[in-house]
Amino acid sequence: MPSNEITLHFVKGGEFHDGKSLQDVFVKVKSKELDVELVSGKELLEKGVDEDKTLFVTDEFTGDVFELLLAHKKRIFGPICVLQCLENEVPLPNRLHPVYCLTMSGAIVSCTNIARPLREKLKQLIERMNGVFARDLTEEVTHLIAGEVGSAKYATAAKLKKPIVLPSWVEEAWQHMQNEHQFDGTDAKFVDEHRCPILKGCSICVSGLDARRREEIKRLVEKHGGIYLADLQLKHTTHLLIEKPTGKKYNFALRWSVHCIQPDWLYDCINAGCWLDEREYLVMLDSDLNSTSKINGTLSATTVDATMNNTTISSSEVSRKAAQAAKQSAKSYGSKDRANESRQLSLTTIQTSGLRMLHKSKHTANKDATCDYNVPIPSGDQFLDGCRLYLTGFNEGQLDYLQKIINAGGATRFNQINPSVSHIVVGDKPIKDIEKLLNSEFSPHVVTVQWLLQSCRHVKCLPEQEYYCFESNDVFEEAGKSNEKNNDKEKKVPETRVDNENDEILKQYLVVMQNNNQPSTVKAETSNKI
């Protein structure tokens, strides 16, 4: 500490934890011919704080005296901080907040995936140890504290080679300082002891792998901080490692928004020493991948521009669930033979008939007379949750109004037709984009704007069949009948086949939630374990 510092006021009382009393530090500072003064905490409480006195030293960073000094915006230091500055011949930190020690000097720390109460505690400890807490991750940040992997901050810190640590790094640094006042919390070896495991927060299940690979994956997952689950668990499983997009676990994983990814993701994470983005390892049906390229040759293999409440999202984040929804929508069009691969509809027939009949719907014919663009918009009701909409044939004013309905209903609006779209809402203007859709293997609901308006009016997602632009779905039915004539010997697929299959899956694999709120699980069959 330089000799020209103004007076240090030592507040009497207490001892700090390595056995050295506040009085001892006072004596050492005074022996260096520095200006010091002992003051009574009781006197400060009774008479108040002199505004001319700015620097105070106390070993009690709680209590009435401490709060009084904070209220008067005094610079407060712990005796350990003063002792460290004295021994290292450095000035006292110029901080607006209290500094107890120099254990984290030079550290600029940010947090991710940390609950607010713990984040506030970590911020306080970091600042007490002379570190800097940063809310945003910038190039100046030296360390990132992560509660679990997977956030944008985590990905950026990993790319910038920043140390990513657990909250225990800060907490244990504080404890070490109590016993060793010159302890350096930024020491590389100490930091490495608190590195965030690369699978922290990941609960991983597998499907379609042999017993040897299952055991190997289980060992690696647990070694690197993840949780291995033998069964797929609702609200618990985060990742399903699977090589082919088949099986009951895969189907339920899609419904539950679980990452369905190649096992290579696990090995690549271990080799990279950090969590890697799952989007590069998604497992998708070959038809999904082929149809994506057919929809729009300009689509990137990894991203699709979409607007969701004015936010750009990537196709990899929605394509898994949206593609499945699109296929289910196609099945609901009334083509009973689509469930049987040997009796699929002719796309050429659909295209030709569809374009011919597109505007023949009774809803389309008198749409101008019945549309009410002043339907009250509810708030807080996600009545369109899961719907992915593409709007066509509307003017700017209508689009603004419909966007408000979409936002209120919790739906997603896309700016271009792609495999993720589940509904096409048709307006007044020509809808040439429909031809592009009909040239693809994807068949979302094509409905008039009345479906959207009436769903908003009733605050629920209404059945689409009453609002189809294709009159009574004749397009698909005619194509189906054409196929039937060419396949007279084939058995007719029951209309309720898909529903029955789902019911059977639910009966066999869903465990009813008990009163103790145990998670539902998908159990592997003992006779057909995959």
Q: Give 286-353 as a 3 state SS string.
A: HHHHHHHHHHCCCCCCCCCCCECCCCECCHHHHHHHHHHHHHHHHHCCCCHHHHCHHHCCCHHHHHHH
Residues across the chain: 530
**Beta partners for 21?**
15
What type of residue is 333?
A: Y
Q: What is the DSSP-derived secondary structure letter of residue 321?
A: H
Q: Determine the Cα–Cα distance for residues 379 and 76; give it in Å rounded to an integer.
A: 49
Query: Domain 8-88, what fold?
Result: Rossmann fold (3.40.50)
Give the pLDDT score at 288: 54
Q: 265-302 as b/e, with b when 16 or more CB fall inside 10 Å?
A: bbeebeeeebbbebbebbbebeebeebbeebeeebeee
Q: Determine the Cα–Cα distance for residues 315 and 528; give it in Å rounded to an integer.
A: 34
Domain with residues 203-286, CATH architecture = 3-Layer(aba) Sandwich (3.40)
User: Please, are residues 421 and 413 in contact by the beta-carbon 8 Å criterion?
Assistant: no
Handedness of CA 145, 146, 152, 154 (dihedral sign): positive
Question: Which tokens hold the place of 424?
Answer: 């096409």
**Beta partners for 257?**
none
Q: What is the DSSP-derived secondary structure letter of residue 182?
A: T
Give the pLDDT score at 322: 41
Alpha carbon 392 to its chain centroid, in Å, reads 31
User: Please, are residues 204 and 241 in contact by the beta-carbon 8 Å criterion?
Assistant: yes
Handedness of CA 231, 244, 328, 339 (dihedral sign): negative
Of 160, 132, 149, which is closest to residue 277 (Cα–Cα)?
149
User: Please, are residues 358 and 431 in contact by the beta-carbon 8 Å criterion?
Assistant: yes
Q: From the CB of residue 332, how many other CB atoms can be counted at a distance below 10 Å?
A: 16
- Tens of pLDDT, residue by residue over 47-61, are 888 888 889 999 888
Element (H, E) at 203: strand 203-207
Give the pLDDT score at 372: 72
Alpha carbon 212 to its chain centroid, in Å, reads 32
Give the pLDDT score at 3: 42
Question: CATH 3.40.50.10190 residue ranges in the chain?
Answer: 8-88, 108-194, 203-286, 388-458
Q: Is 322 helix (H, G, I), strand (E, B) or coil?
A: helix
Domain with residues 108-194, CATH architecture = 3-Layer(aba) Sandwich (3.40)
* Residues of the chain below pLDDT 70: 1-5, 13-21, 286-370, 380-381, 429-442, 470-530
Give the pLDDT score at 344: 37
Q: What is the DSSP-derived secondary structure letter of residue 91?
A: P
Q: Determine the Cα–Cα distance for residues 425 and 417; give it in Å rounded to an integer.
A: 11
Give the pLDDT score at 437: 52
CA atoms within 13 A on the CB side of 391: 24
CATH number, domain 388-458: 3.40.50.10190
Give the pLDDT score at 124: 96
Give the pLDDT score at 482: 47
